[in-house]
Amino acid sequence: MKILYLADVIGRPGRTMVKHHIANIRDEFGIDLVIINAENASHGFGVSVKNAKELFAMGIDMMTGGNHSWDKKDILPLMDTLPILRPLNYPRNSPGSGVGYLSVKEEKLVVINIMGSYTMPMVDNPFTMIVDEVDRLKKEGFKNIFIDFHAEATSEKRALFMMLKGKVSAICGSHTHIGTDDLEINEGTFYVSDVGLTGCRDGVIGMDKKQPMERFLTSISSKFDVPNSCKKILQGVVFELKDGRCLDAFKIKAYDYESVIISQRAFCE
């Protein structure tokens, strides 16, 4: 199975890029499943019911979340029925689930959403939780396991990769909105510290540059905003899985409405 993962789709510019490119990406690369991190999809903070339905209509199969999962309250009652994950290590009585299941070509894929500890809201230990969850899934016979690790610190992401390589199929980092170039496949596990954002590329991590600049100059906080008009980018990864192992993986990019390119291929250890 071939999977496309887009991390941190931000606001209307991000949704516009997904809508413009998704069908062509599916066709060009033979994509079977599309997963996006949608916790910033509605003007940068959370995902609303309206925007979730809009994204599903584009051909998205599953959405993951993070520290902004609860920002749009209208989506909360539907998180138990729609394929929208929130981090597994939020309290158990939180809406929704941190684990989702997809199927294609008679193969099953387990998607796990987990959140780091550093600078994040108070959550359970992501490392002990994910190790236990992976052990449970392996005992139940699941082979293809993909993890969206929504974390600030690259050290947390890298440590999780060291713990789980050879046990899961892919670990992709999200949250920082800044893509990294450390793609690798080791013991059948694909890893990248951060996929990067899909949205505005001429501001600060997808947001209008004015508010972040003022905060750094004055130490006075103001609400971040997503501009409707901006230069845009789409960043994602494509990875191919079989029998629980990653066979190939590469990063794709598109600037505005230009053609999608393969920008980097994973190094195979």
Report which residue type is found at 38. A
Helical segments of 140-193, H only: 154-164
> In this structure, are residues 15 and 252 in contact, taking their beta carbons and an 8 Å threshold?
no
Is residue 68 annotated as part of the catalytic site, yes or no?
yes
- Nearest of 61, 56, 83, 63 to residue 1 by alpha carbon: 61
Q: How many CB atoms lie within 10 A of CB 48?
A: 17
- List the catalytic residue out of 20, 21, 68, 177: 68
Give how far Cα 209 sits from Cα of 64, 77, 199, 223, 254, Å. Answer: 26, 34, 14, 12, 21
> In this structure, are residues 2 and 240 in contact, taking their beta carbons and an 8 Å threshold?
yes
Strands of the chain (E only): list them: 2-6, 33-37, 62-64, 99-104, 107-115, 144-150, 170-174, 184-186, 189-192, 199-200, 232-242, 245-255, 261-265, 267-268
CA distance 51 to 74: 11
Show contacts of 255-258: CB within 8 Å, 24+ apart.
Answer: 255/201, 255/231, 256/231, 256/232, 257/20
> In this structure, are residues 193 and 186 in contact, taking their beta carbons and an 8 Å threshold?
no
Residues designated catalytic: 68
